Amino acid sequence: MHMVRTLALSFALAGFAASAAAAESTSQVIRNQAPRGITQTFYGCVDKAGSDQGALGNCIDAEKARQDGRLNTTYKALMAKLSGKAKDNLVAAQRSWLALQKASNVFEASLYPAGTIVDLQLAQSETFRLCERANALDKYLEVANDL
C-alpha cells in the first residue's frame, strides 16, 4: 500500500499539477502524506511550481534546508539543556539516526529506477525524515524544559 502511495505521489509531482481540474492540488496530495512540521511555504511553492519538475526540485531543496536547520537548532537547544548520561545518550541516538538516514537514502534509491521523478521522490522522502526527526527532538526538548 505504501508503494502505491509513493508511486501516486511521484505521478502527482510529475503530472497531477498540470490538470487544473483535478480535485486536489499537488500540494494537497503531498500534504496528505507529509508529517506535521512541513511548512506552508513549501506547499505554496509546490502549487506555484505546477508541473515544472525543476521548480518542484527547488521547492523540495528549500524545504529540506528549512527542516535541516530546524533539526539542528532544536538539537543544539536540547544539548544545552542536558548533561551527563542524558547528553551522551542524545549524541549516540543522533549518530544512530544519521546512520539510519544515510542507509534509508541508499536503500530507497535502490528501489527505483534512475530519473527526475525518482530524484524528486527521494529528496522528498529525505525531507520528510528530517522533519520527523525534528518533531521528535521538539518533543524531547519539551520534556527537558519541564525538568
In terms of Cα–Cα distance, which of 75, 72, 67, 125 is closest to 100? 125
Asked if residue 14 has pLDDT above 80, the reply is: no
Q: What is the pLDDT of residues 48-89, one digit of tens each?
A: 999 999 999 999 999 999 999 999 999 999 999 999 999 999
Banded model confidence at residue 37, pLDDT cuts 50, 70, 90? very high
Q: What is the pLDDT of residues 2-12, one digit of tens each?
A: 544 454 455 45
What is the structure's pLDDT at 132? Answer: 98
The helices-and-strands tally (H runs, E runs) of the chain is: 6, 0
Dihedral angle of Cα 86, 90, 93, 95, to the nearest 10 degrees: -140
Sequence-ordered list of residues with C-beta below 8 angstroms from that of 55, at least 6 positions apart, any chain: 45, 48, 49
Residue that wins the pLDDT comparison between 101 and 112? 101
Q: What is the pLDDT of residues 122-139, one digit of tens each?
A: 999 999 999 999 999 999
Q: What is the pTM of this model?
A: 0.82
Distance of CA 12 to the CA centre of its chain: 17
Domain boundaries, the chain: 2-146
